[in-house]
Amino acid sequence: MDTIKPTKIGKTFNDRLTSAELGKLWATYMGNSMSTCILSYFLQHVEDSEIKKLVENAAFLSEEFQSMIKEIFIKEHIPVPHGFTKEDVNLKAPKLFEDEFYVHYLKYAAKAGMSIYNVAVPLMYREDVRDFYLYCMDATMKLMEQINSILMDKRLIIKPPIIPIPEGVKIARSDYLKGLIEKARPLHALEITHLYDNIESNVTSKALIMAFRQVAKMEKVREVFKKGEDLTTRAVERYMTKLHEDHLPAPSFLDHLVTTSTVSPFSDKLMLFHKVDMFSMKIRAFGNSVAVNGRHDLALLYGKSLTNIFKFVDDASQLMMKNGWMEVPPEAVDRENLALKGKPNQ
């Protein structure tokens, strides 16, 4: 893709990486090591030539981002995360998804990536890291353009709803925020935007977690996935209802794009990490939704979703820790522990 690549990766800098730079690089490496495994499997089965090119572009970026971060870490004598390897993917597993799903998945994953890069850029002060994240943003935005073009050209999704152009400036009255007991006013454009966005992401998430539950090897992992699938389904149905109440269309479920295969292409570790990571991203998406919301009923709706997501992430994280699957990001010094180690024996 036609992007301006970072030129300072690998150069020597006198200033050490800040906690923000170190933390974001670590998270980006982990996410892309997972993506590399998933996309390598997709490439074994994709048949549509346009969709295959899209997956190839995404796989190239994922590997490139990893390689650039690894170069920085080695230069700075920072341990490279273990992440995910060929041991976490079975390229010989039968096809688990139809080709159309790959496009929806890439948009789902690209949104998550852009949310990381968007937060990272203002906090990066060292030139090589700042240039790296600007490149990540630029490359991912260009990939998103390709994704949306294919979605529309192949008629794989409906665009966000059209609403009337305002006749003039309108000032809110005292009942503008109501909607719990009293009749709610019609949704405004930003509320529609975030309901649509949450549905679009969550129908992909729901199909993916359904597929993961279908192929997971461990019973405990399947149980956690069942909880995640159920709460995602309920959330999507509630968001759809809000749009339908105002006679607005919504994206549809994608469950039919999951095949009947029960052979897992991925390790339980990878699949559980994936859902913890992506459910954590939902927290940010709901925060953005609440920030532009102006109705009490929608605030309650997002609040319930947040509570359910916190519970899912906690349950899944506990299972990952129990199985020794959770890598820890770089941490601050434990001064209290150091003081205890330095205390002389009595």
User: Last residue of some domain: 106, 125, 153?
Assistant: 153
Q: What is the pLDDT of residue 5?
A: 67
Q: What is the pLDDT of residue 274?
A: 95
Residue 196 and residue 289 in one domain:
yes
50 is a domain residue: yes
Q: What is the pLDDT of residue 199?
A: 94
User: Last residue of some domain: 153, 181, 198?
Assistant: 153
293 is a domain residue: yes
225 is a domain residue: yes
83 is a domain residue: yes
Q: What is the pLDDT of residue 290?
A: 78
User: Last residue of some domain: 129, 153, 177?
Assistant: 153
Residue 317 and residue 197 in one domain:
yes
Please answer whether residues 309 and 283 qualify as being in contact, where contact means their C-beta atoms are separated by less than 8 angstroms.
yes
Q: What is the pLDDT of residue 73?
A: 95
328 is a domain residue: no
* pTM exceeds 0.85, yes or no: yes
Q: What is the pLDDT of residue 174?
A: 79
The whole-number mean pLDDT for each consecutive block of 10 residues of the chain, a chain of 346 residues, reads 62 83 96 96 97 97 96 94 96 97 96 91 93 96 96 93 90 79 86 93 96 97 96 94 94 96 97 91 78 83 89 94 93 82 63
Looking at the structure of the chain, the number of domains it has is 2
178 is a domain residue: no
CATH number of the domain where residue 204 is located: 1.20.1260.10
Residue 208 and residue 93 in one domain:
no
**Domain ranges, residue 41:** 19-153
Residue 76 and residue 31 in one domain:
yes
Residue 137 and residue 86 in one domain:
yes
Residue 94 and residue 193 in one domain:
no
295 is a domain residue: yes
Q: What is the pLDDT of residue 249?
A: 94
332 is a domain residue: no
Q: What is the pLDDT of residue 333?
A: 85
Q: What is the pLDDT of residue 337?
A: 81
